[in-house]
Structure 1
Amino acid sequence: MSKKILIISSDHTGHGHKSITEAICEKNKNDHDVNIHVVDGFSLGGQALLGIGKLYGPITRKAENIWKMVYNISSDNPKLINRFIEGLIKDNFLKLLDEVKPDLILSVHPNFNGSILNILEERYIKIPFITLIADLVNISPLWADKRANFIISPTAEAREKCLNYGVPPENVKLIGFPVRARFFRNHANTKVHYKKDTPLKCLIMSGGEGVGNMNKIAEILLENFNCNVKIVAGRNIKLKEKLEQSLSKYRDKVEIYGFTKNIQDLMLSSDIAFTRGSPNVMFEAIATNTPMIITGALPGQEEDNPYFAEKSNLGVVCKNVKEIKQIIAKLLDNDGEELNRIINCQREFINPNAAEDILNFIANYEDHSYEAAASFSYN
Structure 2
Amino acid sequence: MTKKILIISSDNTGHGHKSITESLCEKIGMDHDINVHVVDGFSLGGHSLLNIGKTYGPITRRSENLWEKVFNYSAENPELIDKFIEMLIRKNFLKLLDEEKPDLILSVHPNFNGSILNILEKEFIKIPFLTLIADLVNISPLWADKRADVIICPTIEARDKCIEYGVPAEKIKVVGFPVRSRFFRNSTNKKVNYRVGTPLNFLIMSGGEGVGNMKSIAEILFDQFDCSVKIVAGRNAKLKAELEQSLKRKYGNKVDIYGFTKDIQDLMFQADIAFTRGSPNVMFEAFASNTPIMITGALPGQEQDNPTFAEKLNLGVICKDPSQIEAKINQLLENDAEKLNHIIHCQRKFINSRAAEEIIQFMLEVENRFEWKLQLA
Q: Shorter-chain TM-score: which interval?
A: over 0.9
Q: Distance in 2 between matches of 1:277 and 1:38?
A: 26
Q: Percent identity?
A: 69
Q: Is the 8 A contact 1:194 1:271 kept in 2?
A: no
Q: Which residue of 2 aligns with 1:377?
A: none
Local SS of the residue matching 2:274 = strand
1:209 aligns with 2:209: yes
Change (3 A) 1:122 1:79: same
The question of 1:141 aligning with 2:141 is answered yes
- Contact 1:32–1:363 (CA under 8 A) maintained in structure 2: no
Q: Which residue of 2 aligns with 1:267?
A: 268
What per-residue deviation string (whole Å, max 9, x for no partner) do you get for residues 261-316 of structure 1?
A: 10000001111000000000000000000000000000000000000000000000
The DSSP-based 3-state class of the residue aligned with 1:105 is strand
Partner Cα separation in structure 1 for residue 15 and residue 29 of structure 2? 23
Letter in 2 for 1:48: S
Whether contact under 8 Å (2:120, 2:126) holds in the other structure is yes
Quickly say closer, same or farther: Cα 1:30–1:250, change in 2 above 3 A. Answer: closer
Q: 1:245 offset after TM fit, Å?
A: 1.4
Partner of 1:159: 159
What TM-score, normalized by structure 2, do the two folds share? Answer: 0.97
- 1:154 deviates by 0.2
Rounded Cα–Cα distance in structure 2 between residues aligned with 1:153 and 1:86: 24
Q: Is the 8 A contact 1:45 1:85 kept in 2?
A: yes
| SS at 1:203 equivalent | strand
Matches within 5 A, 1:215-234: 215-234=215-234
Q: Which position in structure 2 is the counterpart of 1:236?
A: 236
Where 2:268 maps in the other structure, the secondary structure is helix
Residues 1:327 and 2:334 are matched in the alignment: no
Deviation at 1:371, TM superposition (A): 5.4
Deviation at 1:252, TM superposition (A): 1.3
Distance 2:147 2:30 in 1: 32
1:234, 1:257 within 8 Å by CA — same for their partners in 2? yes
**CA displacement, residues 166-214 of structure 1 (integer Å, 9 cap, x when unaligned):** 101110000000000000134x423242421321110000000000000
Question: Contact 2:135/2:280 (CA < 8 Å) preserved in 1?
Answer: yes
Counting only pairs closer than 5 Å after superposition, residues 112-123 of structure 1 correspond to structure 2 as 112-123=112-123
1:195 aligns with 2:194: yes
Are the aligned partners of 1:126 and 1:370 in contact in 2 as well (CA < 8 Å)? Answer: no
Gaps of 5+ in 1: 373-379
TM-fit CA distance, 1:28: 1.3
C-alpha distance in 2 between matches for 1:30 and 1:237: 36
Once the two structures are superposed, residues 124-164 of structure 1 have per-residue CA deviations (whole angstroms, 9 ceiling, x without a partner) of 00000000000000000000000000000000000000010
Does 1:170 pair with 2:170?
Answer: yes
| Alpha carbons of structure 1 residues 135 and 80: separation in structure 2 relative to 1, 3 Å | same
Which amino acid letter does the alignment assign opposite residue 294 of structure 1?
A: I
CA contact (8 A) 1:207 1:234 kept: yes
The whole-number CA distance in structure 2 between the counterparts of 1:49 and 1:267 is 35
| Residue equivalent to 1:375 | none
Distance in 2, Cα, partners of 1:251 & 1:310: 34
Q: Which moved more, 1:361-370 or 1:341-350?
A: 361-370
> Counterpart of 1:353?
354
TM-superposed CA distance for 1:118, in Å, is 0.1
Check whether the contact 1:277–1:306 (CA below 8 A) recurs between aligned residues: yes
CA shift digits 1:288-347 (9 cap, x unpaired): 000000000000000000000000000000121111011011111111111111000100
Q: TM-score, normalised by structure 1?
A: 0.96
* Distance verdict in 2 for CA 1:315–1:158, change over 3 Å: same
Moved more, 294-303 or 325-334: 325-334
**Secondary structure at the residue paired with 2:231?**
strand
Runs (4+) of structure 1 exceeding 6 A deviation are none
Displacement after TM superposition at 1:251 (Å): 1.0
Q: Which residue of 1 aligns with 2:7?
A: 7
Residues in 1 aligned to 2:29 and 2:299: alpha-carbon distance in whole angstroms: 36
Q: Deviations over 1:206-235 (max 9, x none)?
A: 000000000000000001011110000011
Q: 2 CA distance for matches of 1:103 and 1:370?
A: 14
Q: Write the distance in 1 (CA, Å) between the matches of 2:101 and 2:29.
A: 21
Residue in 2 aligned with 1:50? 50
User: 2-side partners of 1:59 and 1:9: how far apart?
Assistant: 20
How many equivalent pairs are there?
371
Taking the aligned partners of 2:198 and 2:351, their CA distance within structure 1 comes to: 28
Q: How does 1:100-111 map to 2 (within 5 A)?
A: 100-111=100-111
Q: Distance in 1 between matches of 2:206 and 2:13?
A: 14
d(CA) in 2 for partners of 1:61, 1:14: 11
Partner residue, 1:376: none
Conservation of the 8 A alpha-carbon contact between 1:126 and 1:371: no
What SS does the corresponding residue of 1:208 show, helix, strand or coil? coil
Match of 1:23 in 2: 23
